[in-house]
Amino acid sequence: MAMDESVRKAILGSVPSLRAFAISLCGNVDRADDLVQETLLRALANIDSFQPGTNMSAWLFTILRNHFRSEYRKRRREVEDSDGHYAETLKSQPEQYGQVEYREFREALNQLPQDQREALILVGASGFSYEEAANICGCAVGTIKSRVNRARTRLAELMHVNSAEDFGPDETVRAVLASGE
Amino acid sequence: MNERKPVGQENAMEAAATRKKTTTKPAKLGRDVQARLGQQLRAMYDEVLNQGVPDRFNDLLNRLENNEGKDGQ
């Protein structure tokens, strides 16, 4: 079977998002890329089970998550560098959020239980609906909702944030301070 | 699970709720906090998205396509 051009396009189009999800799961870019590669191989080997017209991206996310759960999760804690490699690889941190706050955020995210972190990423960053996220994770919609809520609450606790002011000066103030005035 | 202390006027409401606490629900985060957390999450995610598709994935698909004729699985 030849790879359909539209399949190829859809798969490649999903790669950036798959990588972002994989990095959040693995905490390490190289391992995340390996995970994505293995995901694509599995997907293509099982492309017949993909229902045309359904969401290719959600299908790939499901495969990636399942593969991570069966193969990668047990290795995670051994190799994990809570900050090092991720920070290194992603050098160009967005200025407007401030380096310290951004680093704190990543560390806090890393401390979340796996279930909560993936739910939060799927809904809060990958742009899946609660229903799609529930399908990807193989659980009830209500479960996803409660995981997302708990994840947010826990993040705020870990970052000692009770209101938006606790995040520090806003971007404008920060910019002025940084300019040395 | 940490119990969060109610703040401000929520005290009155809390008392009125006659201890019948909905223990399943964590304290609600303010909208502003949620928005800020969401911003950071997306900033982190978008940074990876902006890296596009690394060559290894294009190469992988090319390789697979070229092999298809041969191993006719």
CATH number, residue A81:
1.10.1740.10
Q: Domains in chain A: how many in total?
A: 2
Query: Which among A109, A118, A113 is positioned nearest to A155, based on CA atoms?
Result: A109
Q: Which residues of chain B have a CB within 8 Å of the CB of A16?
A: 48-53
Residue B30 lies inside a defined structural domain of this protein? yes
- Give how many domains chain B has, as a whole number: 1
| Cross-chain residue pair B53–A15, CB shorter than 8 Å | yes
* Residue B62: both structure tokens together: 């090319």
The verdict on B62 touching A (C-beta cutoff 8 Å) is: no
* Neighboring chain A residues of B42 at a CB cutoff of 8 Å: 124-125
Q: Identify the domain boundary among A66, A89, A112.
A: A89
The boundaries of the domain holding residue A180 are 92-181
Mean pLDDT over A26-41 rounds to: 92
pTM here? 0.73
Residue in chain A closest to B71 (alpha carbons) equals: A1
Looking at the partner chain, which of B38, B45, B57 has a beta carbon nearest the beta carbon of A20? B45
Q: Is the same domain home to A60 and A116?
A: no
What is the least distance, in Å, from the CA of A89 to any CA of chain B?
10
In a domain, B4, yes or no: no
The residue range of the domain holding B30 is 10-71
Query: Is the Cβ–Cβ distance between A3 and B64 less than 8 Å?
Result: yes
Domain-embedded: residue B3: no
Looking at the fold, whether A39 and A104 belong to one and the same domain comes out as no
Other residues' Cβ atoms within 10 Å of the Cβ of residue A27: 23
Mean pLDDT of A108-119: 92
Q: What is the pLDDT of residue B41?
A: 92
